[in-house]
């Protein structure tokens, strides 16, 4: 076993002895000088190699260009700062690639700052963290510049092409405090999560608006269509005002389904804490009914019973949305569960809330968009595979929606 460990090493014992030069390894790790020295040596060797390649070019040889000493530059890395000797040429045409001209950060530092920002740390907290860990003082402007680099990625992500057909699209909103025209307002960040016909999930986009309405949702639908979406089979919404009209204008064949879990939460809000469990059981007879007729009967019984008499607003709220409550009842249990249980959108909202919790408010829409995008960016790695039950629902989707159900662009 010991032999296997020795054979697996990439650095020989002799080289390690030379690097340590009799120093206590514990002290080396505490001070971090060995790692910094290694990075400095590797970076300067790479820059010298770049200069050699530059001077070996045909045009430089013809002009007789040659080395002309070094410039000193203090650079930031992901674990500290050091002074770097950057070679220069006589003609002044050398453009280093590892540390570009006017750049004072090595690869890795920006990623660390962005990672801290994505976890909800404020600019002040990031500055303190960098100073405490690396002994480097950075300005708020530098941190803003580093994180603003994400905006180009956001713009590309927002305009990327989408699938032609989505089996299910969930629409929901998270409230975030953003300064607007000198006042801190509660703005809604709207999110759309699409499930492709092969069962893969992806965040289609995010939008920030002061108020929601038919005009706003019409612009969202038109944007999705412009990015390649030709059809949405089922759209699940949280009673968003003006949405049905907007989606019917752009995707006239879509089935609009009110989110059942949101209806349940609004209903439970009328009751006291002790009453919520039995009330939830009573509501289950409505949305778990086998047919639309059975659901109508169950709602009538609820309305005429003790719950309806005590809280008449509950039945009224269900009846006002009834047209968009019952569409999912024609499907089998696996599809029903995918529609009325909103674990996907709720986990997404939870991640966003955790990221923004430490912020009192955002200075503008751009800052909010930047942080929310970073909070969402790593989700795609966990959403590559379709859910385990998707193979059970594909035949039913194919039968109910016919040629509209297109898998993998086929």
Phi, psi of 38 (to 5 degrees): -65, -45
Distance separating the N- and C-terminal Cα atoms of the chain: 52
Is the model's pTM score more than 0.75?
A: no
- In sequence order, the 6+-apart residues with CB closer than 8 A to the CB of 409 are 163, 164
pLDDT tens-digit map of 330-388: 998 888 888 876 566 777 777 788 777 777 788 888 888 888 888 887 666 556 556 66
Q: What percent of the chain has pLDDT over 90?
A: 25
Least confident among 27-41, 170-184, 358-372, 393-407: 27-41
Q: What is the dihedral of CA 291, 294, 300, 303, to 10 degrees?
A: -70
pLDDT computed for residue 40 by the predictor: 67
Please, are residues 140 and 127 in contact by the beta-carbon 8 Å criterion? yes
Report d(CA 192, CA 171) in Å as an integer: 5
Instruction: State residue 199's pLDDT score.
Output: 86
Does the pLDDT of residue 162 top 50, yes or no? yes
252 phi and psi angles, rounded to 5 deg = -65, -20
pLDDT at 61 over 60: yes
Q: What is the pLDDT of residue 353?
A: 81
Summarised one tens digit per residue, pLDDT across range 164-223 is 999 999 888 888 888 888 888 888 888 889 999 988 888 999 898 766 667 888 888 999
| Residues 40, 99 contacting (CB under 8 angstroms) | no
Predicted pLDDT of residue 410: 45
Q: Give, for 177, the enclosing helix (H) or strand (E).
A: strand 165-180
Please give the residue that has the higher pLDDT: either 276 or 214: 276
Q: Identify the band that residue 225 occupies on the pLDDT scale cut at 50, 70 and 90.
A: very high
Q: Which helix (H) or strand (E) holds 179?
A: strand 165-180
Would you state the pLDDT for residue 289?
92
Q: For residue 114, report the phi and psi dihedrals to the nearest 5 degrees.
A: -65, -40
Q: What is the reported pLDDT for 1?
A: 44
Residue 289: CB atoms within 10 Å: 17
Write down how long the chain is: 410
- C-alpha span between 161 and 153 (Å, rounded): 14
Beta bridge partners of 362: 178
pLDDT digits (tens, 9 = 90+) for 277-325: 999 999 999 999 999 999 999 999 999 999 999 999 999 999 988 988 8
Nearest-angstrom CA–CA distance, 10 and 8: 6
CB 197 within 8 A of CB 397: yes
- Asked if 187 and 213 touch (Cβ cutoff 8 Å), the reply is no
- Write the DSSP string, 43-92: HHHHHHHHHHHHHTSHHHHHHT--EEEEEEEEEEETTEEEEEEEEEETTS
């Amino acid at each position: 076993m010991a032999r296997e460990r020795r054979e697996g090493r990439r650095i020989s014992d002799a080289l390690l002895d030379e690097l340590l030069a009799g120093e206590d390894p514990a002290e080396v790790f505490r001070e971090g000088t060995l790692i910094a020295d290694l990075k400095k040596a590797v970076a300067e060797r790479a820059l010298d190699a770049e200069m050699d390649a530059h001077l070996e070019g045909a045009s430089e040889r013809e002009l007789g260009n040659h080395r002309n000493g070094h410039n000193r530059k203090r650079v930031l890395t992901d674990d500290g700062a050091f002074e770097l000797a950057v070679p220069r040429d006589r003609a002044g045409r050398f453009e280093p690639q590892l540390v570009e001209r006017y750049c004072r950060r090595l690869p890795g530092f920006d990623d660390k700052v962005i990672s801290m920002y994505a976890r909800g740390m404020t600019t002040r907290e990031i500055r303190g963290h960098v100073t405490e860990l690396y002994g480097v003082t950075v300005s708020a402007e530098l941190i803003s510049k580093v994180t603003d680099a994400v905006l180009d990625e956001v713009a590309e992500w927002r305009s990327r092409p989408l699938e032609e057909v989505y089996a299910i699209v969930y629409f929901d909103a998270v409230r975030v405090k953003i300064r607007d025209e000198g006042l801190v307002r509660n703005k809604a960040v709207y999110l759309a999560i699409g499930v492709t016909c092969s069962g893969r999930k992806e965040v289609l986009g995010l939008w920030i608006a002061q108020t929601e309405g038919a005009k706003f949702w019409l612009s969202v639908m038109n944007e999705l269509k412009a990015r390649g979406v030709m059809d949405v089979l089922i759209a699940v919404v949280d009673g968003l005002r003006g949405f049905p009209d907007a989606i019917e204008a752009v995707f006239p064949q879509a089935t609009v389904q009110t989110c059942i879990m949101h209806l349940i939460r609004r209903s439970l809000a009328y009751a006291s804490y002790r009453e919520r469990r039995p009330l939830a059981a009573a509501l289950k007879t409505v949305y778990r009914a086998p047919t639309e007729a059975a659901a109508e009967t169950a709602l009538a019984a609820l309305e005429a019973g003790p719950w309806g008499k005590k809280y008449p607003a509950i039945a009224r709220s269900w009846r006002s949305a009834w047209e968009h409550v019952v569409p999912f009842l024609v499907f089998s249990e696996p599809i029903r569960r995918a529609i009325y249980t909103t674990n996907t959108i709720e986990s997404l909202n939870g991640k966003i809330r955790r990221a923004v919790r430490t912020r009192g408010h955002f200075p503008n829409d751009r800052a909010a968009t930047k942080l929310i995008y970073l909070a969402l960016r790593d989700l795609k790695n966990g959403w590559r595979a379709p859910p385990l039950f998707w193979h059970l629902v594909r035949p039913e989707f194919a039968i109910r929606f016919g040629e509209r159900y297109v898998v993998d662009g086929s």
